[in-house]
Amino acid sequence: MTDLNNLTCIAHRGASGYEPENTLRAFARAIELNCPWIELDVHMADGYIMVIHDEDLSRTTNGNGKMSDCSYEYLRKLDAGHGESIPTLAEVLSLVSHRARVNIELKGHGAAEPVCSLLKELSWGPQEFLISSFDHEELAQVDSSFTRGALFNRRVDSYVDAAKRINAKIIILDRRLTTRTEIDHAHEAGMELWVYTANKPKHIRKLKALGADGIFSDFPDRAMKIASEG
């Protein structure tokens, strides 16, 4: 699943360093930059799979309240930045249209089944997706035809063992948790280790030198440039 000298570059919430995160503008910008992967976050709201990071609306939109308490009609009226609406997952996939692979991060409870159902309805191959989550119980509900990515934001005894318990093939670590030892352990287990979020060139170069398999960046062009360096 790797690209560019074995380093996968993932546009974090789209090219969110340039455009409002998790909007069609951000995903379109990532595609314009020829990024091979985009990452996005999904919540269930009023029966729809909505692409947004937070359960609370106040940080990334001009709305208030929790996603799960709001109607679809209300959510669609909100400004998610530069006049953009909160998109649905179906809208994002229509925009991407096989021009990049997609990492879907499950937020909240109950997203695994509707996300997998939608993906199976489309003419995409399972290899075009990675489904990830910090909620490993939810991630375990993902259809086995899709690759699972186990996210971690704190230290555990063994990332490899935790990932194996839910049949995840990719470990995704906070940059501050990432060491060569953890990367080597993942490789010894036949897994990849991806890292979030690296925006400064010095951090990207360090992770590349450590042997990370993937790097999430708000500025994916920076990661791709460094990945292509000899």
**Alpha-carbon distances of 163 from 140, 144, 152, 156, rounded to whole Å:** 10, 14, 10, 11
Q: Around Cβ 220, how many Cβ atoms within 10 Å? A: 31
What are residue 131's phi and psi, to 5 degrees?
A: -110, 125
Structure-token match 């186990």, residue found: 150
Can 82 be counted among the known catalytic residues? no
CA distance 73 to 190: 45
CA distance 162 to 150: 8
Catalytic one among 53, 136, 185, 187? Answer: 53
Can 43 be counted among the known catalytic residues? no
If DSSP codes are grouped into helix, strand and coil, which group holds residue 55?
coil
Structure-token match 């799960």, residue found: 68
**Residue whose C-alpha is closest to residue 43's, from 29, 25, 28, 61:** 61
Residue ranges with strand state E in the chain:
8-11, 37-45, 48-51, 101-106, 129-133, 147-152, 170-174, 192-196, 214-217
CA distance 73 to 78: 9
| Active centre residues (catalytic) | 12, 53
